Amino acid sequence: MENNKNLRSWLDAFGLDHPLVIAGPCSAETEEQVLKIAHQLKDTDTTVLRAGIWKPRTRPGNFEGVGALGLKWLQKAKEETGLLTTTEVANANHVDLALKHDVDILWIGARTTVSPFIVQEIAEALKGTDKVVLVKNPVNPDLSLWLGAVERLHTANINNLGVIHRGFSTYEKTKYRNNPEWQIPIDLQTRFPDLPLILDPSHIAGRRDIIFDLCQTALDLNYDGLMVETHFDPDSAWSDAKQQITPETLDQMTVDLRIRKVED
Ligand code: PEP
Ligand code: MN
C-alpha cells in the first residue's frame, strides 16, 4: 500500500472535529436504549454514535447482537440527533444491509480482521462506494495481518480508511483486558502517517478506571480519535458491562483531556 495522502481526506470531508470522538454502547439493546444514549451524547463532543448490532463473540452463549433490526434504530438516532453512525460488519451480507440503511462508517472487528477471505468479501461488497471503513487490529499482535486487511480494502478502491487500536490478547493476565502494545500502532503510524489512527480504550482496558489514562497516552502520541463505549447504565449493559462509562463521564473526560474547550 503506497502512502496515500487521500487517506486522511474523509476526516475533513465529514467536517469532523480533531480528535474525532466516537461513542455509544457496546451493543444496541433496544430502540429506547439507542435513542436515549444518542440524545445524551448529542451535546457532548461526540461526532459519531457507535453501537454493535452484529457481535461475533469469542465463546458461544453470550449476546450476539440484535441483528438487522438495529439498523433502523441507528437511522432514527441519526435523524433525531444529527450524529453520524457506525457499526461493525463481519461479512458481506452485513455490508449490504448497512449500506441500504445509510450507516455512515463501518468498522471491521478484531475477530474479523484475522480472516483474509472474509475481509476480501467485505472489500468486494464495498466496491464502488465511498464508505468510510475503520479496521480494528486483529486479536493477536500481528502488524502484517492488520495492514493486510487495510490493503485488501485499499486495493478494492476503498480510500476512506482508518484503523482502530483495541489492544492484543495474551494468555497471561495483566491489568489490561487486551495489552496495548503501543509499539505496534506506533510502527504503523510511522509507516503510514496518513492513515487515521483511533484508540479504542474500552477493549484495551476492560475496566473503567484506566480509560482516561489510555486516552491521554493516545492523544500524546497524536492519535486522530477515540472510540469509547458509553452506556447510561453500564452495569446493566448486555455486553462489556465492566468497561463502559456514562455519557456524563465521557463529557467530563473530554474536558479533562482538553478535547472540549471550556469557556472561562
Ligand atoms: C466492540 O467494539 O464492541 C468489539 C466487539 O470490539 P473488538 O472487535 O475490538 O473486540
Ligand atoms: Mn464491546
Would you say the CB of residue 203 lies under 6 angstroms from ligand 1? yes
**Where do the structural domains in the chain lie, given as residue ranges?**
9-18+88-256
Determine if ligand 1 sits within 6 Å of the CB of residue 177: no
For residue 230, give every residue at least 6 positions away whose Cβ sits within 8 Å of its Cβ, in sequence order, or none. Answer: 23, 24, 25, 37, 41, 244, 245, 246, 247, 250
Could you report the per-residue pLDDT of 136-149, keeping only the tens digit for each?
A: 999 999 999 999 99
Atom of ligand 1 nearest to the CA of 200: 9
Is the beta carbon of 135 within 6 A of some atom in ligand 1?
A: no
Q: Is CATH 3.30.470.20 the right assignment for the domain spanning 9-18+88-256? A: no
pLDDT digits (tens, 9 = 90+) for 161-208: 999 999 999 999 999 999 999 999 999 999 999 999 999 999 999 999
Residues 6+ apart with CB under 8 A from 214: 180, 199, 201, 204, 205
Task: Give dist(CA 164, CA 137) in Å, integer.
Answer: 6
> pLDDT digit string (tens) for 15-74?
666 799 999 999 999 999 999 999 999 999 999 999 999 999 999 999 999 999 999 999
ipTM given for this complex: 0.98
SS3 234: helix
